[in-house]
Structure 1
């Protein structure tokens, strides 16, 4: 039985709250921040890359070279028909049985547009030529945190899977963060041993949030999270252990009800 802690993102304190809780293993979904807190399982681990320590592998260098022709465009989060069509193709090809499989155009627009924080829609296009118009190839919804970039959700043309386009999007975000002087790129949750999430473990300088701290992942194949003793703590105690953003007077900045789901 899945269990999560979640809280609403709203008001003028939404940005600091997103920054603070992202550093504590939470992820954003529209106007909600959540973190798995299952009683008998701690397999879902929030993962991020240390930008300054990242070194690409040979295959990642090939992916960067293969997709170097793509042009990047960062815009405000606004959904388009072209994005939705590509999103549907992506789901049908790669995640037809996933939780988003039934998402309609209105829900898609809400996923992109409903955000009270600094968010960008980063699109990748084939360049326009004399004979071909500009074509959308990939899109990533990305939050701007005070210590990095958080890749909320990315998707691309399924026929470009062979070009390792998903890998390229992460590599490009590492480069964006490096140029901006941001130390981390947040990848979302990684489950050791999961085939679908295995691509995250192929990036060097990876670390995960477990047992209240970020831990370096030296060898993904042998890595296991720390003892899940704290998972059986009462929800109230888990909430009490969460650090909230501080106001000028040193007190928690605002009230954020964290709830069990």
Structure 2
């Protein structure tokens, strides 16, 4: 099924499949190709409208009977760490950061496999081989970086694939040493991206989707200054229970209406 806007890009909808976040639900995605000279502008523009990047595709949840998945970002200027987040910063203070172009390595893949096997053995990425991993890292038509974190002996501890947007950093995918789970490395990487954004004068850190009712995504609600993209605009996140209505079957708009309300960057600029 295809829907389009004048002068491209073309938007498509995936077939329904079981939702990985809410039991008994079916998910569907609205997506478009990310390519050509306007790829960076398109990524910048659609990221502000709740889209996420996966290799050379931009997508946004468009489920027929649920609107629970809400794109989330942190307002860097308003963010204040909690006590536990300050402890995570102190606990991981020995780690060193290094950023490079998006290039996959065997060391990254070995860490990625250990992370998946320990934490997401039954997830959608569990069977990803080294070539698919390389594609996830390297197939990007926009400004992306691989940010690695190493210990004092230069052992790779954590990795994040990060997109550079015109208004912030987008954390596309991150993973870490599962043996150091108690170090709160996932939280710490977000805190370090907030630090990077501040150093670069960028207002936001994009975290992907927050899903009310999903334990997998609950950690995102623990960050202060969180905003969610809801009903066509960004709003400060309220109490998690305030979003239960978004799981109702009548909470989502028809696909054609969703596409019609997407704002595209001016290709003449």
TM-score, normalising length from structure 1?
A: 0.90
Contact 1:217 1:223 in 2 (8 A): no
Aligned residue number for residue 88 of structure 1? 113
Correspondence for 1:123 among 125, 131, 148:
148
Q: Secondary structure at the match of 2:240?
A: coil
Give the equivalent residue in structure 2 for 1:167. Answer: 187
2:39 and 2:129 map into 1 onto residues whose CA distance is 27
1:153 aligned residue: 173
8 Å CA contact 2:66–2:251 kept in 1: the answer is no
Alignment correspondent of 1:210: 230
Contact 1:21 1:244 in 2 (8 A): yes
Q: Secondary structure at the match of 1:121?
A: strand
Which residues of structure 2 form unaligned runs of 5+? 1-25
Q: Structure 1 residue 195: deviation in Å?
A: 1.0
Match of 1:24?
49
| Structure 1 residue runs without a partner (length 5+) | 129-133, 250-261
Q: Map 1:236-255 to 2 at 5 A.
A: 236-248=256-268
Matches of 1:48 and 1:232, distance apart in 2 = 23
Secondary structure (helix, strand or coil) at the match of 1:152 reads strand
Instruction: State the shift of 1:193 in Å.
Output: 2.1
Distance in 2, Cα, partners of 1:24 & 1:228: 22
Moved segments of 4+, more than 6 Å: none
Q: How far is the alpha carbon of 1:247 from its aligned partner? A: 3.3
1:100 maps to which residue? Answer: 125
**Counterpart for residue 177 of structure 1:** 197
Task: Tell me the secondary structure at the aligned position of residue 216 of structure 2.
Answer: coil
Matching residue within 228, 252, 261 for 1:231:
252
TM-score by length of 2: 0.87
Match of 1:189 among 197, 209, 212: 209
From 63, 66, 75, the counterpart of 1:50: 75
SS of equivalent to 2:118 = helix
Question: d(CA) in 2 for partners of 1:148 and 1:225?
Answer: 30
